[in-house]
Structures are given as structure tokens and as C-alpha cells.
Amino acid sequence: MKFVILACLAAVAVAAPRPQDEIAEVLRDERQDAGDGNFNYAFETSNGIVVSAVGTPGAEGQSNIEGSFSFVLPDGVNAEVRYIADENGYRPESELLPTPYPLPDHAIRQIAIAEQQRAEGITFE
């Protein structure tokens, strides 16, 4: 769900109206691939898009990637997302992403009781 929201935010940022004569130029484009699963890349454009990532081979055959991307929102604010993608999935971090409301005290107490019961071997059918 968070990825969908993030993708929508990126699409809105990219689709924002811009003057016809403004064409983004690539300011930096660095790529390295060792061929063994280790790689990194970074690029930056004149319209404020910055992307970087480092990849390493994962223990379960996947690529582990740690990276970030940022872009300028229509109101001029710089939006940044940092992420890790590995055997535990894709985990983005950003102030842009919504967070769940804190659990109320009674819910926290119920969770603690359930954990205690589980530890004691109590089960319910």
C-alpha cells in the first residue's frame, strides 16, 4: 500500500505542469556493475531528481538494494525516500509516507495479555 502511495506521489511530481521550454538535463550519471551481483548507480538531473542505489547479492539468491530517490514537489519542497529491499521485502522510509495511528492503551494491554497467554501455552479454538 505504501509503495502504491509513493508511486502515485512520484507520478504526480513527474506529471506536474512545467514550461514547454524546460527540458531536464542529466547532470550526473554514474554506474558500476561488477557482474557478480554487486552494483551501484547514481544520477541527478537539472530538474531536481536525484537517485542512488547500492546492490549486493542476497543469501537467498535475490539482490539486496539500499538506496534513495528525491524530487522537487510542485510547491518547491524536496521529497526524499530512502529504502532497503532484501529478503525481508521493500521497506521505504520517508516523511511523505503515511503512518498508522498509535494504538490505544486498551489495545496495547490486550496484546500484552495475548503474548503472555501464548508464552504459557494457552490456545483458543
Q: Measured between alpha carbons, how far is 117 from 87 in angstroms, rounded to an integer? A: 31
Sign of CA dihedral 94, 95, 98, 99: positive
Contact 83, 66 (CB under 8 A): yes
What is the pLDDT at residue 12? Answer: 56
Residues of the chain with pLDDT under 50: 1, 20
CA gyration radius for the chain?
21
What is the pLDDT at residue 17? Answer: 58
What is the pLDDT at residue 97? Answer: 87
Task: Kindly list the domain boundaries of the chain, sorted by start residue.
Answer: 2-100
What is the pLDDT at residue 9? Answer: 54
Question: pTM above 0.75?
Answer: no
**Which amino acid is present at 99?**
T
Contact 83, 91 (CB under 8 A): yes
Contact 24, 17 (CB under 8 A): no
Q: Where are the alpha helices (DSSP H) in the chain?
A: 2-15, 105-119
Q: Are strands 26-33 and 63-72 parallel, antiparallel or unpaired?
A: unpaired
Strands (DSSP E) found in 9-77? 26-33, 39-45, 50-57, 63-72
Q: How far is C-alpha 113 from the geometric centre of its chain's CA atoms?
A: 34
